[in-house]
Amino acid sequence: MKLLRLIPDDTRFGFMRFRRVSFPLSAVLSVVAVLSFFTISMNFGIDFTGGTLIEMQAKNGKADIGTVREAALDLALGDVEVQGFGEQGGVSIRFGLQPGGERGQQLAMEKVKSVFESSYEFRRIEVVGPRVSGELVQSGTIGVVLSIFAVLVYLWFRFEWHFAVGAVIATMHDLVLTIGFFAISQIEFNMTSIAAILTIVGYSLNDTVVVFDRIRELLRKYKKMPAAEVLDLAINSTLSRTIMTAMTTILALLSLVIFGGPVIQSFSYAMLFGVLVGTYSSIFIAAPVLIYLGVRSAGEIEAADAETAPAPAK
């Protein structure tokens, strides 16, 4: 019985020749992403902006979260979060700051009361601040930087410094483009978006390390082959795995995009974009950048040493 192979074993597609296109393209997209972040800004959700929290208890002991969410969205209060909590029948509604200051916020609370007071008992109503404080954002940023640094050190010891720098460049490329995606699309940026970004970092690094591991193996095996050809061979040999991993993940994410609804919209869209970008960067950014960082085969190193060696004395 033959195993299913999406990519034939003898595939020899030249990926490295596209580096003269992929590098300028990624540079332009990264600049656009950074400019979009500073000019358009992000569509921050309630987690970052604060708002009003209302906790209710169903009088009959059963709460229909879907019906409550639809009714709350019909009130046109902007971003609304509806969740079940605690005992059966507990519902929390959280909506952002309203135009008109304190008076606008009071009118919004009265709207909610008028819609749900017949079926729900109001347990708590209070104005809450941003769930993500400046101190937490700072701590999170430091944590991400330290994690990337730890990955760099790990790759440095496992491979060479070229691979560590290449992996970090590819990861930063994915992060910048994902942030630009949030700014341009104006999809709400909330706590689930941060979870998506951290997941994208892990996915991208895993895909990159798989390719790097094969590159290191082939550099030792084909000592006379030029580095560019070794990189092409390594990507082609892992291409089937890359496609299968990306496609299965994309299919799962598409189901979240189609059926997940607005609750996890920011997570599912960000993950779908991140998987596509992460797959692209592991092939067209992480591997080709090794050429510019000076990764060479044993044969190329010997040839370079022979050229720089002093001529024998006569």
Position 148 in a domain? yes
Question: Residues 195-221: what's their mean pLDDT?
Answer: 85
Whole-prediction pTM: 0.78
Q: How many CB atoms neighbour CB 53 within 10 A?
A: 16
Position 106 in a domain? yes
User: Does residue 191 sit in the same domain as residue 224?
Assistant: yes
Choice between 274 and 131, residue whose per-residue pLDDT is larger: 274
User: Does residue 108 sit in the same domain as residue 170?
Assistant: no
Position 20 in a domain? yes
The pLDDT, as a whole number, for residue 86 is 66
The pLDDT, as a whole number, for residue 4 is 59
Position 11 in a domain? no
Question: Residues 13-31: what's their mean pLDDT?
Answer: 89
Q: What is the CATH number of the domain that holds 196?
A: 1.20.1640.10
Q: What is the pLDDT of residues 246-285, one digit of tens each?
A: 899 999 999 988 887 777 888 899 999 999 999 999 889 8
Q: Give the residue numbers spanning the domain of 268.
A: 16-42+133-303
CA distance 133 to 131: 6
- Number of domains the chain contains: 2
Position 207 in a domain? yes
User: Does residue 26 sit in the same domain as residue 61?
Assistant: no
Q: What is the CATH number of the domain that holds 116?
A: 3.30.70.3400
Position 313 in a domain? no
- The residue out of 128, 150, 170 marking a domain boundary is 128
Work out the pLDDT band at 1, boundaries 50, 70, 90. very low
User: Does residue 214 sit in the same domain as residue 86?
Assistant: no
Position 6 in a domain? no
User: Does residue 259 sit in the same domain as residue 143?
Assistant: yes
Tokens for 226?
A: 């030029």
Length of the chain (residues):
314
User: Does residue 121 sit in the same domain as residue 145?
Assistant: no
- The residue out of 110, 128, 146 marking a domain boundary is 128
- The residue out of 95, 128, 161 marking a domain boundary is 128
CA distance 29 to 39: 15
Looking at residue 286, the DSSP 8-state letter turns out to be I
User: Does residue 57 sit in the same domain as residue 171?
Assistant: no
Q: Which residue reads 């046109």 in tokens? A: 76
User: Does residue 62 sit in the same domain as residue 23?
Assistant: no
Letter for the amino acid at 42?
M
Position 4 in a domain? no
Reduced to 3 states (helix: H, G, I; strand: E, B; else coil), residue 264 is helix
113-117, 153-157, 246-250: which has the minimum mean pLDDT?
A: 153-157
Q: Sign of the C-alpha dihedral, residues 284, 286, 287, 293?
A: positive
Helices (H), the chain: 19-39, 46-49, 65-73, 101-116, 134-158, 161-185, 191-221, 227-259, 265-281, 287-292, 298-308
Of residues 12, 20, 43, the one with CA closest to residue 183: 43
Of residues 171, 205, 186, 180, the one with CA closest to residue 266: 186
